[in-house]
Structure formats: C-alpha cells, structure tokens
Chain A
Amino acid sequence: MNRIDRPLLDAHIVAERGDLLLQVAIQVEQGEMVAIMGPNGAGKTSLLYALFGWLPIRSGWILLDGQTLDAPGEERPVPPYRRNLGMVFDDGLLFPHMSVEQNLRFGSNTKSLDSDLADLLELTPLLSRPIQELSAGQRQRVALARTLASNPMMVFLDEPLSSLDPSARAHARDLIKAAFDSHLAGGLLVTHDPADAFALADRVMVLENGEVSQFNSLNVLSTQPATPWIANLIGWNFFLGFARNGTVVLANGSEIATSDSALQGETTVAINPGSVSLFLEAPGGSPRNSWYCQVSDIQFVGDIARVSLTGGIKIHADVTKSAAAELGLRKDVAVWASVKATEVIVQEVEG
C-alpha cells in the first residue's frame, strides 16, 4: 500500500463525557492541519482526549498512519504514551520543577536537543531559565518545542494561543506555522479564533453538541455555512494585503481603507459579513470603502442571507432575508458593497 495514499489519521469514535455524547468521524491527510472549532462544551477537547486514549471510546476505531490505536471489541487500546501523538495545552503545562532545557529534553524520543528547533522558536537564550520566569508567550513556545522535539507523528494543539495577548498572537501563529512546516506530518488545532484557522489550517471541522456539523475548507465554510453558528463565527472575510498610510492594498488591486492611518506593511484584514452593507445605487455620504460587485451566490441560513460577491472585491455579506428580497438579490445582480472604515479589523503581520 502506498504510504501517501492512506490518511494520517482515520477515526470514527463514539464516546461519553458527562452529559456529552461525542460521535465523530474524522480523517486527516498526510501533512494536513485541521482546525477544530465549535461552541463551548461542544466536545472539542473531549475529541482530543478520546483520540489520545485519555477518554475511553465506546465504539469505533482510531487508526494512525494505518496502525490501530483503538478499536473496542477487537484489540486492546494502545496506551496513551505509545500512541506517538503530541499535545500542546492551552496553558502550556510545562513541568514546573524543571528548567526550560529539562522540559525540552523530557520526551522519550528526544535523543539530543534539536538546536534548529530551539532557534526557530526563539528559545536558545531561555534554555537555562526556570519555568516560573517565563512570560505566557515564552511558555507556549517552550510547550510547542517540547512536543515537536519528542518527534510525534501528529500533534494536537488545544487552544495554544488563547493565553496570549493579541499582539503576541500573530507572532506566535507565524512561529507555529514555521515549526509545523519543517517538523510535522499533520495536526489538529482546537481554536476559538477564526484567524488561527485562517492562518494555520487546511480544513476546518466544526463540532456542535458532540457531532460534526461541517468539515470542509474555510472557503466553503464561509460561502456555504451549514449552521447559524458557523455563519456567525467562521463567516468572517479575511484578506492579506500591504498597508500604506492606513489603506490596505490587496493582491488583486482592491483597496480597503482602515481607521488606523498609521498602519504600514503586511497586514491581515478581517471584516464581519454583518458589517457589509449592500446598495443598488452608489452609496451617498462618504463610506470610503465602496465596491461595485456582482452577486455570485446566495445561501440562506436561518433568517440570514449570505451573499457572496465578486468584482470590485471578493467578499461575503450577511443581510436579512427580507433585505435580500427588497434588493431583489439573485445571481449576477450588480450591487454596491460598502463597509465603514471603523468596521475593518486589522492586524499587522510581524517580521
């Protein structure tokens, strides 16, 4: 069997944790990073624990690179420590009685400390420090390095950036991406932040109430959200561009004005589809961001119409069903889309 053909992770699990019944089928391809999102209590962390063998599964199977880790009724489950899975926790969980270097060397597959990895994650000057002296961001980087240094086949990240402040997040995201590209076969990333999924994941699995409500690329999730929760949270428009004096220029030449006139350099832009207004005529007044677009698709989720636009800019707008009817929106209709500069959320991409 060709190694590349089979998925890295193939799991179909039924498990219980408290009141929650978890029923999930998941496949992760070789080299793929899948983001797991969902409301609080939907079973995201429970899913990681079940795959780990920390939470017993009632039925189903877990295959990692073709090896059976668990299949109730058929084989004894492989104990967690022999599953070859790494895990990075939201609070790092560094061993407090060890130095940074001792933490990094703890992994049983860690023969010698990978100095490239320590350099990549900017840890080399910290190696002899006790854990207590590290900042939240440094702890998180040590936790990631500790996991990668133990050479797991796959890594689970449980909200790895949630303890960081927003300015540290973008940087940490870049480091995670760099570390993953060079060190890992694949991973699962539990996150609340669509920006994490946007930056790091190839596909997104949304869990709601213990079940998968959608599992697809971020692009499909934002154009065709399966549930109102997805429409609300993942439906954000994301752009990558270059800012000059507060205006972000995108790769296709579209411009987005922001409220921060000092903004310079490479920038990510997030716009809530609910902040995009649609007009049949060029809007009066002075919203600086107005684009002449064509409707490429309309999806109805609950009371919301999600309108996908192309032309002046590729963007999604959420309007009410009745507003969509009033505007007579359907495929290929031309509309003006506008967004107030104050509704544009920007984040500079660091170094």
Chain B
Amino acid sequence: MRTRLPRRVRIVALLVIALVATPLISLLLRVPWARIPSILRQEFVTDALVLSLTSSVLAAFIALFLGIPVAILLSRLDGLFASVTRAVMMLPMVLPPVVGGAALLFAFGRRGTLGSALEDASGVVLPYSLGGVVLANAFVAMPFVVLTIEGSLRGLDSRFELAAASLGANEFRTMIKVVLPMVRSSVIAAGVLAWARALGEFGATITFAGNIPGKTQTLPLAVFVAMETDQEAALAMSLVLILVSLGVLLTMRDRWWPAR
C-alpha cells in the first residue's frame, strides 16, 4: 500500500502524456491506410526499409562488440583519466549528429586521417557506402552501450571474480563465463538501446554516407525526402518506424523495468 497520489501530480502527468501522444496520434490520423500496401511496395521504400534494418542491426552488434571492452576498462578505472576517457566516449551521444558525421569524414573520408591509409591498404572506401552508414550508426550508438554496461559492471560484487579465480579460472575465462553473463540483462538492454539509436540515426548518416537511394538512403532519410515530394509515402514509412520501435520497446520491457 502507498499513500494516495496527489491530485495535481496526477493531472500534470496525464497532461504530459497526452502532449507526447498528440503528435503521434495526429500522424496516425493522416495515414492513408488504403494506399499503404502500394506505397510500401515502391522500390525506394523497400530499399530504405531493408537498408535501415540491416545497417541498424549490424551497427548495434558492432557497437556492442567494441563497446564492451571499453565498458570493462572504464569500470576498473577511477580518477581524472577515467573521467576524461568516459567524457570522450560519451561525446557522440551529446554532439549534434551532423558534427559527428563531419568528424567521421575527417577521420575516415578518402583524404581523412585513417581513410586514405585504409583505401591504400585494402581499397575500402567508407564514405557514401553501406559500410559508411553502419559506421555512422555504430559511432552514435556506442555511448549507450558503454554507459549501460559500465554501470552494471560497477554494481557487480567483485568477489565473484575472486571466487572464479579460486576455482582456477584465469582473468579472460572469468570475464567470459562469469562477469559478462552476470550482467547479461544490461548487455541485452545496451544492444537494444544501440539498435534504437541506430535506427533513428539521421544527421551523421547523411553527412558521412550521403543520401543515395538504394545505397545509403535509410528510412529516416527517405521520410525526410518524401516530406517534400510525397507526404503520404512519408506517413506510411513513419508508421513502419513507429510500429517497429513500439514493438521492440514492448517485447524488451522486462529487461529494462520489471513488468507489472
């Protein structure tokens, strides 16, 4: 039993919820339901949908794979060095994505710090390619991985590592068999957050990978373009984004907060 919710708190909360829901409902009211099948069969829409899903899933896995070691390192560090490192790792989350995309160009562009060496060595050119889309998405998604996983690693009782060592497990085996499985739910949560961020990514993608239909034009970019040319198509694609995101949030709810 709890004390009664104060009435003004309840009223304000309900108003805010209505306010957040209004734009979404307005959008739903305008969706041309009858035309949806034909719109979604258009080539640039299917291309954007497939591209978005592939690149966001790939980016989420890459962000996880690269973010976990960083999270482990940061969870063991304290002091100024740790604070600076953590701030640098968090930057892509705070920066305007356009700035992130520009920074990626200076690093991985054809004349970028690493990009020219990469092209010389392997012939791989990242900007304006599918690889560029994935890189831009992973870049902005990684902070979510580091933040989420570092938090739960810090909350873990370090004596579990001692227990594993006392059973003869070396540091790597301890990490793989004990530590990471024990923070499994936040690894999954981190992956989903990263994927959600990647799916909605716009600024860094358009700056670094451009807006080439069928090649680098993801769903958000296609919606942006369609708003100028074919609003009904924009609405239909927005509907797809809303449904996919809502579906994931609902299936993952037990991972983030206890379901009631």
Contacts and interface: CB of A to CB of B under 8 A. Distances in A.
B169 A97 contact: no
B167 A147 contact: yes
Contacts of A109: 168
Contacts of B167: 86, 106-108, 110, 146-147, 150
Q: Could you tell me the dominant secondary structure of chain B's interface residues?
A: helix
Interface string A37-52: 0000000000001001
Nearest to A105: B167
A23 B181 CA distance: 38
Given A95-B178, A97-B182, A97-B184, A89 B163 contact: yes
Given A80-B165, A81-B165, A86-B166, A95 B159 contact: no
A152 B162 CA distance: 14
B182 A87 contact: no
Contacts of A80: 162, 165-166
Interface in A83-126: 84-87, 89, 93, 95-97, 106-110
Interface in B148-171: 157, 159-160, 162-171
Contact of B162 (A52, A95, A106): A52
Contact of A87 (B166, B169, B170, B174): B166
Nearest to B158: A54
A166 interface: no
A87 B159 CA distance: 11
A146 to B, nearest CB: 7
Nearest to B157: A93
Interface in A60-97: 79-82, 84-87, 89, 93, 95-97
Nearest to B163: A93
B177 interface: yes
Contacts of B181: 95, 97
Interface residues of A, number: 26
Contacts of A49: 162
Contacts of B164: 81, 95, 106
Contacts of B177: 106
Nearest to A92: B163
Contacts, number: 65
Contacts of A79: 165, 170-171
Given A97-B181, A97-B184, A87 B162 contact: yes
Interface residues of B, number: 20
Contacts of B159: 89, 93
A95 B166 contact: no
A193 to B, nearest CB: 22
A146 B182 CA distance: 18
Contacts of A85: 166
Contact of A106 (B157, B169, B170, B184): B169
Contacts of B160: 93, 95
B163 A81 contact: no
Nearest to B174: A81
Contacts of A52: 162, 165-166
A95 B169 CA distance: 13
Which of A79, A93, A147 has its CB near the most chain B CB atoms (within 10 A)? A93
Contacts of A93: 157, 159-160, 163
Contact of A147 (B166, B169, B173): B166
Nearest to B167: A107
A49 B165 CA distance: 12
Contacts of A87: 162-163, 166
B78 to A, nearest CB: 16
Nearest to B180: A97
A152 B169 contact: no
Contact of A108 (B169, B182, B184): B169
B182 A96 contact: yes
Nearest to B162: A54
Nearest to B184: A97
Contacts of A107: 167-168
Nearest to B182: A97
Interface string A246-290: 000000000000000000000000000000000000000000000
Contacts of A89: 159, 163
A185 to B, nearest CB: 16
22 contacts: A49-B162, A79-B171, A80-B162, A80-B165, A81-B164, A81-B165, A81-B166, A81-B168, A81-B171, A86-B166, A87-B166, A95-B164, A95-B178, A96-B182, A97-B182, A106-B164, A106-B169, A106-B177, A107-B168, A108-B173, A150-B167, A150-B168
Pairs of residues from A and B, 5 with the lowest C-beta to C-beta distance, nearest first: A108-B168, A87-B166, A80-B165, A107-B167, A81-B165
Given A85-B166, A106-B164, A106-B177, 5 more contacts: A80-B165, A81-B168, A89-B163, A95-B163, A97-B181
